[in-house]
Amino acid sequence: MIRVLVADDQAIIAEALAALLRTESDLEVVALAHSAADSVRRASDVRPDVVLMDVQMPGTADCKDGIEATAAIVAAQPATRVIVLTTFGRPGYLRRAMEAGAVGFMVKDASADRLVDAIRRVSAGMRVVDPALAAASLSIGPSPLTERETEVLAAATGGVSTAAIAAATFLSEGTVRNHLSAAIGKLGAVSRAEAVRIATENGWL
């Protein structure tokens, strides 16, 4: 039996995936998780063979999303294989997921048969990555932003004030303005909002 942990913050999706997988005679759903930190805890508890990991889940300062959860699980349990399963097929997500240790990357509109086949393949030691996304990831390259620039730009989502960003990132307003200016320049944007959009569309935020 291939033991599977399903991690998705939307309970109805997690439960639907679990119900689907339970129809397969060689798959056993051993746990569900609904946040990034919860997925790490549950993986430690049940030691699954494969984790289906959503990207955009509620997180904490130590484990912000599904990609950081993937890195934590793989670091603690190298034998566990992670497939990142996301609504958003963004090239930057793919690159970050692979760098975090995922061995699979699929979008949620994939067929049930493809998903089940992917679980079996990664359990057998193979990788499963959408070829079109792989090509796109190579073409756009890695994020040009530093870790601090990424953090500040993420905090700028929603058009909040410089003061609010400074408070959220524990930086001075002047430092925040410098990081935002650098990010806007590197992304070829004309405004803070456009920089956020470009970074988000590429999966860098």
Q: Which domains does the chain have, with CATH numbers?
A: 2-139 (3.40.50.2300), 147-201 (1.10.10.10)
Query: Which pTM value belongs to this model?
Result: 0.70
pLDDT value, residue 138: 59
pLDDT value, residue 32: 97
- How many Å apart are CA 196 and CA 16, to the nearest integer? 33
pLDDT value, residue 135: 58
CA angle 203, 106, 79 (to 5 degrees): 100
pLDDT value, residue 119: 96
Low-confidence ranges of the chain (pLDDT < 70): 89, 91, 132-141
pLDDT value, residue 132: 66
Backbone angles phi, psi at 52, to 5 degrees: -95, 115
**What secondary structure letter does DSSP report for 202?**
T
Enumerate the β-bridge partners of residue 28: 3
CA distances from 74 to 55, 79, 89, 158 (A): 15, 8, 22, 32
pLDDT value, residue 121: 94
- How many Å apart are CA 145 and CA 200, to the nearest integer? 12
pLDDT value, residue 137: 60
Amino acid identity of 101?
G
pLDDT value, residue 3: 97
Residue 186 gets the label, from left (phi > 0), alpha (psi -120 to 50) or beta, of alpha
Listing DSSP states for 149-166 in one string gives HHHHHHHTTT---HHHHH
